[in-house]
Amino acid sequence: MPELPEVETTCRGISPHTVKKTVTELVIRNPNLRWPVPDFLESRVQGKQINSVGRRGKYILLQMDEGDVMIHLGMSGSLRMVRSDTPPLKHDHVDFCLSDGNALRLTDPRRFGSVLWQPKGEHHELLYKLGPEPLSEGFNAEYLKSCCDGRKVAIKQLIMDSQVVVGVGNIYATEALFAAAIDPRRAAGNISRARLENLVVEIKKVLSAAIEQGGTTLKDFVGGDGKPGYFKQELSVYGRKGEPCVKCMAPLTEVRLGQRATVFCKHCQR
């Protein structure tokens, strides 16, 4: 699944090609995504200008005067710019045709993505319970400590909870915990404020580095500008079960937390 850096990369890739452009036509070839594309969406966007491209968690927001189009890439979705007359392929489900002759095309082989609408001044039910953005000032040691106090849940599962903080998915949670030398299995309530402060710093660092380098290259993901990400080559623990730790050379261990594979170093993380 595309994680926050991949989604941010997509936002940055499509923004120069969509902002200040008018949607001349909405083409819905298959409305049956994770949730059906709303019947009324065409009337909301046709003839309207895209004022900006934003992001909330893993939702891409095409921001217009009357509201926002909310796009989620699901497990395998991607957005890319094409000419409006480019013949669609099997999994090209939605086109936002623009006034310059180009189109923003959603491709989603598994159809776990979504295209929804958030009226101006309202908070869609999928967004209003989300925690702070991990790169914002609101995500800090004091806040994380308050979320951890008294909790027995594993720290990795806690930081992957979107109601605690958005966008810290499996890859980057694994990497940040390694950088902070914290065992991903450790109960959140048993971690000191000083160590949580370090974890906040490492989460911000690993996400910022991934965004800067274009996101992780995943099998099904291509950035909005057609360029894949290049962060995968710098992963220290994710996907490296049994390989030597980059710090102590001991073999890395894999366990499952919350049905997710979790790789860590028993010697360096405590």
Give the pLDDT confidence of 18-55 residue by residue, as tens digits.
999 999 999 999 999 999 999 999 999 999 999 999 99
Mean pLDDT calculated for residue range 257-268: 94
Mean pLDDT calculated for residue range 176-187: 98
CA distance to 96, 111, 153, 230, per residue, from 82 (Å): 10, 20, 45, 23
Predicted confidence (pLDDT) at residue 216 exceeds the cutoff of 80 = no
In this prediction the pTM is 0.88
Query: Which residues are known binding-site members?
Result: 91, 110, 151
Query: Which pLDDT band, with edges at 50, 70 and 90, does 56 fall under?
Result: very high
Q: Provide the CATH number for the domain formed by 141-264 in this structure.
A: 1.10.8.50
E-strand stretches of the chain: 23-28, 52-56, 59-64, 67-72, 78-83, 92-98, 102-107, 114-119, 253-257, 260-264
> What CATH architecture does domain 4-119 belong to?
Alpha-Beta Barrel (3.20)
Partners of 251 in the β-ladder: 244
Is residue 3 part of the annotated active site? The answer reads yes
Is residue 58 part of the annotated active site? The answer reads yes
Query: Which residues are known binding-site members for DNA?
Result: 91, 110, 151
265 in Cβ contact with 238 (< 8 Å): no
Q: In what order do the strands lie in the sheet with 78-83?
A: 23-28, 92-98, 102-107, 78-83
Which position has the higher pLDDT, 60 or 231? 60
Of 44, 58, 80, 195, catalytic: 58
Q: SS3 of 25, please?
A: strand
Interval 142-171: pLDDT, tens: 999 999 999 999 999 999 999 999 999 999
Please state the domain extents for the chain: 4-119, 141-264
Interval 125-150: pLDDT, tens: 999 999 999 999 999 999 999 999 99
Query: Which pLDDT band, with edges at 50, 70 and 90, does 94 fall under?
Result: very high
